[in-house]
Amino acid sequence: MTEPILQISKLNKSFGPVHVLRDVDLNVYPGEVTALVGDNGAGKSTLVKCIAGIHGADSGEIRFEGRPVTLTDPRAATGLGIEFVYQDLALADNLDITQNMFLGRELHKLRAFLSDGEMEKKAREVLAGLSVKTVSSVRQKVANLSGGQRQTVAIAKAVLWNSKVVVLDEPTAALGVAQTRQVLDLVRRLADQGRGVVLISHNMNDVMEVADRVAALYLGQVAAEVMTKDSSTTQIVELITAGRSGDIGLAPAAANESI
């Protein structure tokens, strides 16, 4: 078994009196899609924000490639090679695909001037590397793209910098059937190319189809981390809603106590 690339152990986070994350453990392996599932308010977003460095964790350890790291500002995570694709996409509509992919990290010539040709070439390489076939020009304005294409651009932006871990927050939430298909294929490809992928999703079909491993959060605790191939949709839904399913999950006392 390979070592996890991102290893979170005993992470705690409180907002005032509210204990949002309790002793959360999560392992992300290279080449695997780890789905993070849980009901609204289970703490998924908080966990992601702790990894991103937007919130500081109260206690616990985060290891990246085996080394303990402190993630206290968004730049730190990016610097390590952890990229985030947020639900609301964070693309500027008035810029084109290339400009969005390189936003904030433009390539230069003569220091002050933009090197548009080089960026365009690299953007195409990255999209081609992800086998994206749906984009007819990297000079299209993002405003003119469909939802699936926009999501594709957001994901491509995340992998442009040789990222090692990509965290996707609900990437298929607003998409139609065909576009969901495109994005799931892309998510799978990210993992197949050796990256660790964290997929946050509400959609069990997506999770069962694309994820290797599922971590179910229940009221701020990890109810269980199971392999997709060993479990069923019903089981995962039970883990999400009740914190346990059969003999896996939180101990009955713990599950009840949390309620």
Partner 1 sequence: MTPEPPETVGAAGTLPTNDRGSFSLDVEERTIPIAIREWIGRLRTGDPGALPSVLGLVVLGLIFMQVSDKFLSRYNIGNLPGQGAYIAVIALGLVFVLLLGEIDLSAGTAGGVAAGIAAIGIFNGQLNGQLPDLLYWSLVVGLAIAAALAAWLKAWTGSVVIAIGFVLVVTNLTQHVVPGIIAAVCIGAAIGTLNGYLVAKVGIPSFVVTLALFLAWQGVVQFALKGQPVPVGQVKLWHDLTYGTLSVLWSWVFILVLVGGYLAYTLNTSIRAKRAGLAHDALALVLLRGGILTVVAVVVTILASDNRGLNRYRVVDGIPVPAAIVITLMVICTLLLTKTTWGRHLYATGGNEEAARRAGIDVVHMKVTAFILCSAFGAFGVVMLSSYQSSASLDLGAGNTLLFSVAAAVIGGTSLFGGRGKPRDAVIGALVIVIIPNGLLLRPSLDAQWQQVITGIVLLLAAAVDAISRKRSKRG
Site string for partner 1, 142-181 (x = CB under 8 A): -xxxx-xx----------------------------xx-x
Q: Smallest gap, in angstroms, from Cβ of residue 67 to partner 1?
A: 24
Task: Please report how close the Cβ of residue 112 comes to partner 1 at its closest, in angstroms.
Answer: 6
Closest by alpha carbon to 40, among 197, 258, 209, 200?
Answer: 200
Stretch that binds partner 1, among 56-64, 125-133, 209-217, 229-237 (CB under 8 A): 125-133
Do 7 and 198 meet the contact criterion of CB atoms below 8 Å apart? no
3-state class percentages of the chain: helix first, strand second, coil last, to nearest 5: 35, 30, 35
Residues that contact partner 1, how many (by CB under 8 A): 46
Q: Mark residues 82-121: x for contact with partner 1 by CB under 8 A, - for none.
A: ----x-xxxxxxxx---xx--xxxx-x---xxx--x--xx
In this structure, the dihedral spanned by the alpha carbons of residues 149, 154, 159 and 163, taken in order and rounded to 10 degrees, is -160
Give yes or no for residue 74 binding partner 1 (CB under 8 A): yes
Distances (CA, A) of 10 to 28, 105, 210: 15, 34, 27
Answer left, alpha or beta for residue 246, where phi above 0 means left and psi between -120 and 50 means alpha: left
Q: Is 71 in the site for partner 1 (CB under 8 A)?
A: no
Do 33 and 26 touch, CB atoms closer than 8 A?
no
Is residue 128 part of the contact set for partner 1 (CB under 8 A)?
A: yes
Residue 107 tokens, joined: 């390539």
Judged by the rule CB under 8 A, the positions of this chain that interact with partner 1 are 74-75, 78, 86, 88-95, 99-100, 103-106, 108, 112-114, 117, 120-121, 124, 127-128, 133-140, 143-146, 148-149, 178-179, 181-182
